[in-house]
Amino acid sequence: MFDAAFVSDVHLSTDAPARTAAFVTFLRRLQTRKLYILGDLFDFWVGSDHARLFHKSGLFDALARLKNGGADIFILPGNRDFLISNTAPHIFPAQILPETHTINSPYGRTLLLHGDQLLLNDVEYTVFRFCSRRKALRLLYLSLPFQLRLAIARIMRQQSKSAVKRKRFKNPRILQFSHSALSSLLRQGFGCVICGHIHTTSKFRFRVGNNALHIYVLGQWTQNGGDFLTLNRGKLVFHTFRP
C-alpha cells in the first residue's frame, strides 16, 4: 500500500481503446491511499457530456472502485483537458483540484502541477494558454453543440502536434522548463516539483547557489502502460506498469 501515487499524461481517447484498457487495469491493481492525476488524463476534454464517450470503457467504474476501497483521488487539469475544471462535480469519483496544488514530501514543500506552466520559453504557447483560460472564452466554447466542440478539439489537437514538431526542430530549448520559472519556485520556498507534460520520465535537480529544486517528471502512457511515481515511507520512487 503506497501513501500516494502520481500519474500524468495518460491521454485517454476513444481512438486509443488499448491505452484506456491499460490504464483501467492499472487502476484496478493499484493499492494506494491517495492518487494524484497530474493533468492530461484525456487527450482532450470538451465538457461534462464528454464523459458519455467513456461510460463503457470501465474507467469510471475503476475510479469508483478505487475510491470506495478507501483511496482519495485528485485530478489536476492539464493543457489538453483543462476544461475538466468546468466539469460537473458528479461526473468523476474524484476531487478536481486547481492547476497547482501543494503537498509535503521528503524535500519539504512540493508543488504538483501539469507542467506546461513552466515552459515560459514557448511564447506562442504561453499566449495561447493565457487566452484559452479566460472565463468568457470557456463559457462560449461550452455553449456550442457537442459535436462541434469535438470537431474543434480534434482540429486543435492536430495543429498542436504539428506545432510541437516544428518547435522541436527549430529550437528544442523552447520545449524545456525555463530557468526563470524554476528559479521562481525556489524563491517561493518549494523544494520539489512533481509534474508531467514533456512526455519523458526523468528526475533532475535545479540549483541556484546552495538551494536545490528536485524535479520529478512523469512520462506519457501508451497501450503498453506507463510510468508512475509513488511516495511511501518518506521516499519518492518511479515505477513502470505493464498490463
**DSSP letters along 109-153, please?**
EEEEE-SGGG-TT-HHHHHHHHHHT-HHHHHHHHTS-HHHHHHHH
- How many separate domains does the chain show? 1
* CB of 229 closer than 8 Å to CB of 236: yes
Greatest distance between any 2 Cα atoms in the chain = 54
User: Which pLDDT belongs to residue 74?
Assistant: 97
User: Which pLDDT belongs to residue 160?
Assistant: 77
| Whole-number Å distance between alpha carbons of 20 and 17 | 5
Cell numbers representing residue 82 in the block:
483543462
Is the pLDDT at 88 greater than 80? The verdict is no
| Whole-number Å distance between alpha carbons of 166 and 31 | 41
CATH number of the domain that residue 210 is part of: 3.60.21.10
Please give the model's pTM, rounded to 2 decimal places.
Answer: 0.93
pLDDT per position as a tens digit, 115-165: 999 998 888 888 888 888 888 999 999 999 999 999 999 998 888 777 667
Please give the residue range of the domain that contains residue 34. 4-241
Residues 6+ apart with CB under 8 A from 165: none
